[in-house]
Amino acid sequence: MDPKVLARYNSVEGADSYRAEYETKLHRKLSHKLERKLFQKLFARTKKIGSLVDIPCGRGRLREIFLENAERVVEGDWSFHMLEGNRRDYGGDGRTPYFRASALHLPLADRSFDCVASIRLNHHIDDVEEREQHVRELLRVADRYVIFTFFSFHSLKNLWRRARRPFNGKRPKRTLSLRRVRELGEENGFRLLMAPTLSKLGSGHRFALLERVENS
């Protein structure tokens, strides 16, 4: 991840402003609403989950959605300050334990959670090898389902960015292709069930749902 972005997430102000953005900025509120709908679609497919680990949990934006759809939820993040803020705001109800870890090297046993969720991290990871390592790590820990987001190589947003790049010199988006996500799943005993987009034109984010193939 860009060290500046990571440092911001790992600061008191960065952690608090991430939470505040989703409460005050219109485009963030809209995207949260779209995400809520999208999760309904994904969880309609999985039905109620036993145990779910959410990493990165950020400032707990998706906590309620996960608690509605899983019996037990554990939340993790790399940022101390995200975790600290969550403990302060939600710790009292004791419904979600917190742990600090990198989602690229989870201190969790193989197949130790029914579902592993990793939302809005992959597109921050600079190196394509590490983006793929992130996906493999989620698949290793999941006994049944993985839900994760990635920025789609073939999205209009990315194609537009690539077309303009020779003129504005902006850095390329950190993408994965849908085909590669499917392959990574298959290489690790999963099949891709669906990967809806947050919005066809306005967003390049896709929400992939993978399921472990029986006997794999």
Ligand X SMILES: C[S@@+](CC[C@H](N)C(=O)[O-])C[C@H]1O[C@@H](n2cnc3c(N)ncnc32)[C@H](O)[C@@H]1O
Residues at the interface with ligand X (CB under 6 A): 1, 6, 9, 55-58, 61-62, 77-79, 82, 102-104, 119-121
- The DSSP element (H or E) to which 38 belongs, if any, is helix 26-46
**Partners of 73 in the beta sheet?**
52
Q: Write down the least CB distance from residue 198 to ligand X, Å.
A: 11
Judge contact between 115 and 54, C-beta under 8 A.
no
Name the residue nearer to ligand X (CB basis): 61 or 174.
61
Which of 18, 112, 119, 134 lies closest to 62 in space, CA to CA? 119
The 10 Å CB-count burial string (b at 16+, else e) for 190-208 is: bebeebbbbeeeebbbbbb
Q: Which residue is nearest to ligand X (CB)?
A: 58
How far is the C-alpha of 65 from the C-alpha of 74, rounded, in Å?
Answer: 13
**Least CB distance to ligand X at residue 172 (A):** 19
SS3 89: helix
Tell me the closest approach of the beta carbon of residue 213 to ligand X, in angstroms. Answer: 27
**Is the CB of 32 or the CB of 162 nearer to ligand X?**
32
Closer of 61 and 161 to ligand X (Cβ) = 61
| E-state strands within 153-189 | 175-176
The span from the CA of 29 to the CA of 22, in Å, is: 6
| Least distance to ligand X, CB of residue 9, Å | 3
Complex with ligand X: residue 55 or 73, whichever CB lies closer: 55
Cβ 39 to ligand X shortest distance, Å: 11
In the three-class reduction of DSSP (H, G, I as helix; E, B as strand; rest coil), residue 120 is classed as coil
Choice between 119 and 209, CB closer to ligand X: 119
